[in-house]
Amino acid sequence: MLTIASWNVNSVRKRMHQVERLIDDTGADIICLQETKCSEAAFPAAALEALGYPHQAYAGQGGNKSGYNGVAILSKIPLSHIQRHHHCEREDARHISARVDLGGDALTVHSLYVPAGGQIADADLNPKFAHKLRFVDAVGDHMATSHGLRDLAVVAGDFNIAPMPSDVWDHRRMSRIVTHTPIEVAALERMKRSLYFVDALREVVAADDPVFTWWSYRASDWQAANKGRRLDHIWVTPALKSRIATVEILTDVRHWQPPSDHVPVVLKLRTEAELETAAGTHHHF
């Protein structure tokens, strides 16, 4: 079993003890982080190596922007082909990828942080919203040109879009709010179609079952109000669909202090050996 966790950590240095707790709780082989909020020079590489993740890929911003964005991939398995991707002519540390060799098969892992898009859901009035839409389209173009339909790939991260009615606490009300507007949902669907990605969570959780990964800091009792959104996702290429074993949202992490407003998503993939052993044969991943 291969375990991949993804979390918008909202400052990796501020929540290093929580990252350690996540490791203890999940034993993840690969961890994708978003909003690390530190420059590459300040990234806690040594501390994370000591926690069992010697193989790392990370991208951060420098100068007066070092407290923004930032993505990382931490791995127990050696990484190769590490690439930091730039979209929309901006170098804003929102997308990094790396390859892991699993018994001869190459799996590419992407850690992605989509822009939030501001408050006004109008691309003509809000440049941030316009950039978000362009960014999502650019990522879709990148995926379509970087991978083939038979490739093994995982894209994990904070997509800042809740695509399904059950991904928000009130579909009718939230359809006018950034993260759940029809234009954003359509953009994310285009990105999904770029490689016919499979939404791993919705393979194991019914489409009409409400599931959230984000709750606003503004709610004094976020759990009682439960006005959440599913902004964090793990997608896999069709070649990995049959290997999805479990997907878990670690809701209790929202209680950890000081809290991130996001909680981790954890995917477990069966190896080919596990699939074929069950069928009476034996192979590698």
Domain boundaries, the chain: 2-278
Helix, strand, coil percentages for the chain (3-state, nearest 5): 30, 25, 40
Predicted local confidence at residue 37, as pLDDT: 97
Q: Copy the structure tokens of residue 230.
A: 């599913």
Predicted local confidence at residue 275, as pLDDT: 74
Predicted local confidence at residue 281, as pLDDT: 52
Predicted local confidence at residue 212, as pLDDT: 98
Contact of 112 with 156, CB cutoff 8 Å = yes
Cα–Cα distance between 76 and 233 in angstroms, integer? 22
**Tens of pLDDT, residue by residue, the chain (285 residues):** 999 999 999 999 999 999 999 999 999 999 999 999 999 999 999 999 999 999 999 999 888 887 889 999 999 999 999 999 999 999 899 999 999 998 878 999 999 999 999 999 999 999 999 999 999 999 999 999 999 989 999 999 999 999 999 999 999 999 999 999 999 999 999 999 999 999 999 999 999 999 999 999 988 899 999 999 999 999 999 999 999 999 999 999 999 999 999 999 999 999 877 777 666 655 455
Cα–Cα distance between 178 and 161 in angstroms, integer? 8
What residues are paired with 55 via a beta bridge?
A: 75
What pTM value is reported for the model? 0.95
Query: 2-278 domain in CATH 3.60.10.10?
Result: yes
Element at 246 (helix H, strand E): strand 244-249
Predicted local confidence at residue 22, as pLDDT: 98
Q: Which amino acid is at 253?
A: V
Q: Which amino acid is at 164?
A: M
Q: Is 17 helix (H, G, I), strand (E, B) or coil?
A: helix
Contact of 68 with 37, CB cutoff 8 Å = yes
Predicted local confidence at residue 115, as pLDDT: 98
